[in-house]
Amino acid sequence: MATATEEIQPSSYVGFDSITQQIEHKLLKRGFQFNVIVVGQTGLGKSTLINTIFASHLIDTKGRLAADEPVRQTTDIQAVSHTIVENGVRLKLNIVDTPGYGDQINNEGCWDPIIRYIKDQHSAYLRKELTAMRDRYIQDSRIHCCLFFINPTGHSLRPIDIIVLKKLSEVVNVVPIIAKSDSLTLEERENFKQKIRAELAYNGVISYPFDTDEADEEEIQVNEIVRSMIPFAVVGSERTVIVNGKTVRGRKNRWGVINVEDEAHCEFVHLRNFLTRTHLQDLIETTAQIHYEAFRSRQLLALKDASRPAQGTASPEKH
Ligand SMILES: Nc1nc2c(ncn2[C@@H]2O[C@H](COP(=O)(O)OP(=O)(O)OP(=O)(O)O)[C@@H](O)[C@H]2O)c(=O)[nH]1
Ligand SMILES: [Mg+2]
């Protein structure tokens, strides 16, 4: 007799091998939802980088096309939605741009609106999940990735950045990046990266990716490579420049042209590959399984506690 673990070859074709296509078909029809938030000091190029990543002008940046245009600055948390289609795959992308923080005299609590925004998305999802007649598919507005912009000073992180990074990493997958890295030489960049990694570790900031118990050899290795590259040193640009007769996204400076997509110039391509090719699914999954799950159990425990009579108060039966 065949035991439960033994593999049986059906004598004629059953057809369940098409399950992968069935799943794919369903997923393709529904499309994928990916929500990113950008956070960091003002003027570090947050809005610009988002536009560079998705190669279209999605949100206002300070960049001016004409000298008499007013300077634009992000003043509130704004979510922009776009659907990008590539080879039949629909990616519904939600980008949440936040105003730069930390330039007030008193920066106490300046991160609150951002943290609140992230938690509000968890809360909205939980409410929908707890509805008796819940939808089979809940629209996901939970933030899957937070790109945290670091000022390319070459020195250490500001104390406020460390506070904000810590707060963020408790609720969302945080990916630190060095902004405007065209201002650093390759050597400065490498030293700065090492310094930041050491500072993050010293201050107990756990940035994405995490190795889970289920991670296999291959995943652990990929994560190791990503960790050795973080923080990605990037350059953003919405303009195109001509290099060797080819139009590329780039910036012109006194020394020449920086091609944003050239790996010898910056790590923009690594960041984009990481976000869209290698870790898209894992970022989504980690959000659901780690960050949302932690939020959900805290909320449900709090509800349970609230519905229980407070300890120490006498129950009516005793009297
Ligand atoms: N040198 C250099 N300049 C950049 C880079 N990215 C953006 N800039 C410029 O920096 C300025 C500010 O860019 P934004 O994208 O508006 O910055 P932001 O972080 O969104 O600013 P806030 O909305 O105020 O928080 C613009 O003039 C950009 O052209 C970069 O990688 N290198
Ligand atoms: Mg902005």
Model pLDDT for residues 240-275, shown as the tens digit of each residue: 888 888 888 888 887 788 888 888 888 998 998 898
Best mutation site among 41, 61, 150 for ligand 1, i.e. most ligand atoms within 8 A of its Cβ?
61
Residue 291 has pLDDT above 80, yes or no: yes
Residue 104 has pLDDT above 80, yes or no: no
Best mutation site among 37, 46, 48 for ligand 1, i.e. most ligand atoms within 8 A of its Cβ?
48
CB within 6 Å of ligand 1 — which residues? 42-48, 61-63, 73-74, 99-100, 180, 182, 235-236, 251
- Please tell me the residue having the least CA distance from ligand 1 atom 27: 63
Q: What is the CATH number of domain 30-61+71-297?
A: 3.40.50.300
At 212 the pLDDT is: 76
**Band (293; pLDDT cuts 50, 70, 90):** very high
Cβ-count burial of 276 within 10 angstroms (0-12 exposed, 13-18 middle, 19+ buried)? middle
Ranking 175-184, 188-197, 308-317 by mean pLDDT, the lowest is: 308-317
Of 126, 200, 124, 193, which Cα lies nearest the Cα of 162? Answer: 200
Cβ-Cβ contacts under 8 Å for 183 (sequence gap 6 or more): 152
Q: Which atom of ligand 1 is nearest to the CA of 234?
A: 31
**8 Å CB contact between 107 and 158:** no
Ligand in nearest proximity to the CA of 114 = 1
Q: Which residues surround ligand 2, an ion (CB under 5 A)?
A: 46-47, 74
**8 Å CB contact between 84 and 103:** no
